[in-house]
Amino acid sequence: MQNRCFSLCRLVTENNFYPDAQQPDAMCDENALEQAKKLVAAAKKISALTGAGISVDSGIPDFRSEGGIWERFDPHEYGTYDSFLNDPSKFWTMGRELAKVMLKAKPNPAHIALAELEQSGKLLGVITQNIDNLHQVAGSTNVIELHGSYLRAYCMECNKDYVGEEVHQRVADGEIPPRCEKCGGVLKSEAVLFGEPMPEDPMARAVDICKDTDLMLIIGTSLSVYPAAFLPQLAKNSGAKVILIKLEGSNRDDVADVILMGKASNVVPRLFDSSV
């Protein structure tokens, strides 16, 4: 059984659960790509901060965009810690839908390129806001899960750990909310909900990486969920260069030295491909 330590920090988002419709996939600017590749070649201690966008090409839609889960499940009602404490069956009803896509997704070339970068010894670690475990499946070993994991669950009463897949199967079979076999308490996914205290250790490790890195790759995140959205500026203030890879503009673009517009699965591998 794990000892769970939570920080005083809670997961919050800017008030944009539903942003404007996404722009069509922009072409990656070749000059910007060349600039970015030079930064990669010069860097010795690279880090990555990833968000929902890196897993879109693996078949997991981000929550906010058209077709995303917030379209059918109001995040205020289904995705906050308070709503979970009030009525856990709501979260698990949404969770059943989420499990259908999340459990069958496979890593895409962007996840794989980061795993290969780690093997080359140049990557300090992947800091991820994702809960889908795809970095680990791709082969990354130093993955810092800021928002927990959908692949783990625990009992709210006695803290007993559960394997997420087993719990999701029970939920798929109609057990909503799922309950602890030992004490009957309600089970909670380890994925952190809005308003929920953040796990302490991952954020501390992420801060250490931001202070140490000389190049941060920010991939597929709108940088509108806090405290993760503060990390690029921390890396920047510590002297790192920053490359942003995504499909649309955000209000934190000014942190970037280079912006690459395009799909992560296409752009990320090209950063490390010396033949391109």
What is the contact surface with ligand NAD in residues (CB under 6 A)?
51-53, 55-57, 60, 62-64, 129-132, 147, 220-222, 224-225, 245-248, 250, 263-264
Encoding tokens for residue 13? Answer: 């988002």
* Segments in the chain forming alpha helices (H): 30-42, 75-78, 81-86, 88-102, 109-119, 134-138, 164-172, 200-212, 231-237, 264-271
Closest approach of ligand NAD to the CB of residue 151, in Å: 10
Q: Which is nearer to ligand NAD, 66 or 273 (CB)?
A: 66
In angstroms, what is the minimal distance from the CB of 176 to ligand NAD?
21
Closest separation in Å from C-beta 23 to ligand NAD: 8
Using CA atoms, how far apart are residues 145 and 133, in angstroms rounded to an integer? 9
Give whichever of 117 and 131 is closer to ligand NAD, judged by the CB atom: 131
Q: Is 76 a catalytic residue?
A: no
Catalytic pick among 111, 135, 147, 168: 147
| Distance in angstroms (rounded) separating the CA atoms of residues 88 and 82 | 9
Burial, 198: exposed, middle or buried (Cβ in 10 Å; 0-12, 13-18, 19+)?
buried
Structure tokens given for 132: 């889908």
Closer CB to ligand NAD, 157 or 165, in the complex: 165
Residue nearest to ligand NAD (CB): 53
Q: Which is nearer to ligand NAD, 127 or 180 (CB)?
A: 127
Nearest distance from residue 6's CB to ligand NAD, in Å?
Answer: 16
Question: Is residue 220 within 8 Å of residue 261, measured between CB atoms?
Answer: no
Active site residues: 147
